[in-house]
Every structure is written in C-alpha cells, then in structure tokens.
Homo-oligomer: A and B are copies of this chain.
C-alpha cells in the first residue's frame, strides 16, 4: 500500500529531470506523500532536488523538507535564494520546523528571510522559537496549539476551534487555561464532541496536567511523553503560561537519535555517519577513536617492553596477551553498557552508587570464577604448562572483576559530572581495560614464571 522507492523509479525520474520534462516529473511525483518525496530527495543531488522542490506544490515542498535529516536539509536549503526559502518553504511550515530552517542561517540572513514572511504572527512565533536552545523543550516545541478559557462553554470553544484551527494540521487536544493563560488542563476533541454544546469547559476538562517548562532537556521530554503515552504535550514558561506544544513525531525522532548516538559512541563513531557519506565525513567520525586506540596500543607496547627479558626467557608468556586484553575489554563494555542503558531509560533504581558497585562485584566474582575455571581446563589441556596456566587464570580472575567495577563506575561518574556516559563505552573503556589487564597479566606472569622456573 505504501510507496516503495526502487532503482527503476529513481532512474526514470532522473532521466525526466535531465530532459527537463516537467509534465512527466510532476506525473511521477503526484499522489506521493511528502515523506516519500523526502526519501526521493535524499537520493538526488542538489540540482535535481531543487528541480523537484520547485515543481511540487508549496505545502508538499515544505513538508518534504521538514522530513529530511538535518544534514541533507541544510545542504539543500543553502542552495536556494532566501526569498524562495521564505515564500515557498518557511511560510508553509509549522513554526517549529520553520525555526529549525531559519536557525541554519546567520543573523543578517535570518532578518532577510523573515522580512519576506508577510504573516506578522507567524514571523513573531518564529522569532520567539529562535531564542530557545535546540536541545530544550523550547527548541522542540511549535506554536500551533489551540487554547480555550476554562469558563467558556463547549459552543464557544467549538467556535474558537474553527477560528484557530485553520492553520493547524492535526489537533488532538485543546489546552484549557485561566484568565492569565496559565495552564489548567486539557480537553480532548472526543470529549468535546461527546458533550452537550452548552456544557461548561470547567466541568468537563481533564485536570491531570502533564507538561514541561521550556528549559526541560529534550531527553527528559522524550522520557515523560513516553512514560505517559502522550501524543502531544503542552510547554509552559516559568510561571505556568502555555507557550507551545511538543508533538510525538518530534519526540520519536529524539528517541531514535539518542539511541543511535549511544550506539555510535559504543562503536567508536563520534558523529552520525551513513554508509554513503563521503570519505572526509567518515574519516572525521572514525579517526579520533582509532587514534585513541593507537595510543592505547602504544602504551600496551611499553608495558610489554618492560617485560622483554621475561618474554625472552619464557616466550609462552605472550600466548595469553590477546585473551587477557580481549576479556578485560569485553567485560568492561558489558558492565558499562548496562549502566548507560539504565541511565538512558531511567531504570537504574534508587540504590546508592556504593551498593550498585557492590552488586556488580558480586556478579563479577561469579563470572570471573566460571571463566577462570574454563581457562584452567583449556590451558592445562592444550599447553600443558603450570606457570602459564596459573599466570593466566590469576590474571583473568582479577581482570574481569576489575573491568566490571571500572565499567560500572566510569559511566556513573561521567553522568554525575554531566558528561554523556555513553562516551565511557566503546574504545575508551576497551583501551583502559586492555592496559590494566596487560599490566596485571605480565606482572603476575613474571613472578610465577620466575618462581616456577
């Protein structure tokens, strides 16, 4: 039932664009949802995209642009004349999307774009929204909402709705306010329809308020809307007056982005990259972590070089270097991932840090005992050396416990200092645990090998 973008579709569209066959392009794009147009534009180059944007109707062009991801949108928008941006795009967008677009420009350009926006109310909404930090509720919210006074009747309310609602795509609730426009509650359209028109709002609205203030962090906005299953949430200023609303589609994007960011950090990628991104973009995202890894590897080399004589005497000591470093890294990542995820979905519970670490200590003793016993068997069986086996299992036992506790503590500590705890997972924690594991293994090994030699 949905549109499915195929290579054939793209090839024929590109061909029509090349031939400047406006009728065929229009025909091919007619009936498509703006989200489909956005998907197509992501595959086109800037000129082709502009060609498409200027052919479809204003609303579709604006909606398609709102659907694009940040990078593609910024790229495309910057290639259009400011007047076109104002009249074809900004004026046909919801205020939050319009503010995002205008926020891409410097102040002079912003002034110029806004000067083409004839609707004063719309321009002032956008100017308002530009003031908020984009990572806050203010940065997510839009100005498209309907407010009704608690003292009105349903009939007055319906009239106000028809007056205010024209510019708003979707309305699910209206916000009920007092005479000072302070938020008192919400009223669903369903309730409004099912109530007699003479009913007073004050008697039928829902007084349970779930709202946020403009400066709430966007991750917290997402957690609140998710927890209370809201499709839209009012945003108030510091004294409780309604100044905007956040819709679930924007929050879905936040949830996806936050989850992807954690995943990227855990995988050692420092920014959003696509498989199709250029060499430059990918290298910039990947190289920093690799250089950290390189430095870590050099530190490992120094530790080993300190034991050069021991290894010359007993080269067997080198056998388990990769095993110990890998296990330290793996355990550390597991522990930190559990904490990072708990912080992200707010499920860490109410224990003190000390208790959390104590529990992790208990678990890691079990895990390290099992792993050490397995290694004991394997190592004795295959390599038949008591010194090697003893060094390996003692080191493994210590390394797993250490890596668990380290992996638990570091993200908790980062979070306390308001640093993204996801930074702790991935290359950083692997590297630290590699170094520490190696140090423990070679120190233990050199003592045991010389004792048993």
| Contacts from A to B (Cβ < 8 Å) | 1-2, 5-7, 10, 33, 35, 39, 42-43, 67, 158, 161-162, 165, 168, 170-172, 188-190, 192-194, 208-212, 224, 226-229, 231, 248-249, 251-253, 255-256, 259-260, 262-264, 266-269, 273-276, 279, 282-283, 286-287, 289-291, 293-294, 296-298, 300-302, 304-305, 308-309, 311-312, 315-316, 318-327, 329-331, 333-334, 336-339, 341-342, 345, 347-351, 356, 359-360, 362-363, 366-367, 370-371, 374-375, 378-379, 382-383, 408, 425-427, 430-431, 434, 438
- The answer to whether residues A210 and B2 also contact, given A161-B193, A263-B341 and a CB cut-off of 8 A, is yes
Instruction: Give chain B nearest CB distance to A384 CB in angstroms.
Output: 11
Q: Does A350 contact B248, Cβ atoms closer than 8 Å?
A: no
Instruction: Add 11 more A-B contacts to A43-B349, A161-B193, A290-B334 (CB < 8 A).
Output: A33-B228, A248-B252, A255-B255, A259-B263, A268-B333, A276-B348, A279-B363, A290-B331, A294-B327, A298-B323, A322-B322
- The answer to whether residues A326 and B296 also contact, given A318-B304, A374-B291 and a CB cut-off of 8 A, is yes
- The answer to whether residues A165 and B189 also contact, given A262-B263, A322-B301 and a CB cut-off of 8 A, is no
**Residues of chain B with a CB closer than 8 A to A170's CB:** 172, 188, 190, 231
**Residues of chain B with a CB closer than 8 A to A296's CB:** 323, 326
Instruction: Give chain B nearest CB distance to A356 CB in angstroms.
Output: 6
CA distance A201 to B269 in the complex (A): 52
**Residues of chain B with a CB closer than 8 A to A382's CB:** 298, 301-302
- The answer to whether residues A290 and B252 also contact, given A165-B194, A262-B263, A325-B326 and a CB cut-off of 8 A, is no
Q: Identify the closest chain B residue to A305 (Cβ).
A: B319
Q: Identify the closest chain B residue to A207 (Cβ).
A: B31
Number of identical monomers bound together in the oligomeric complex: 2
User: Top 10 A-B pairs ranked by shortest CB distance?
Assistant: A297-B323, A259-B259, A267-B337, A300-B322, A229-B249, A301-B319, A311-B315, A189-B189, A318-B318, A312-B315
Q: Does B333 contact A378, Cβ atoms closer than 8 Å?
A: no
Q: Does A289 contact B334, Cβ atoms closer than 8 Å?
A: yes
Q: Does B189 contact A190, Cβ atoms closer than 8 Å?
A: yes
Q: Identify the closest chain B residue to A426 (Cβ).
A: B333
From B224, B274, B300, B319, A2 is in contact (CB under 8 Å) with: B224
Q: Does B293 contact A330, Cβ atoms closer than 8 Å?
A: yes
Name, among A190, A228, A312, A379, the residue most crowded by chain B CB atoms within 10 Å (CB to CB). A190
Q: Does B321 contact A276, Cβ atoms closer than 8 Å?
A: no
CA distance A158 to B193 in the complex (A): 8
Q: Does A1 contact B212, Cβ atoms closer than 8 Å?
A: yes
CA distance A31 to B174 in the complex (A): 22
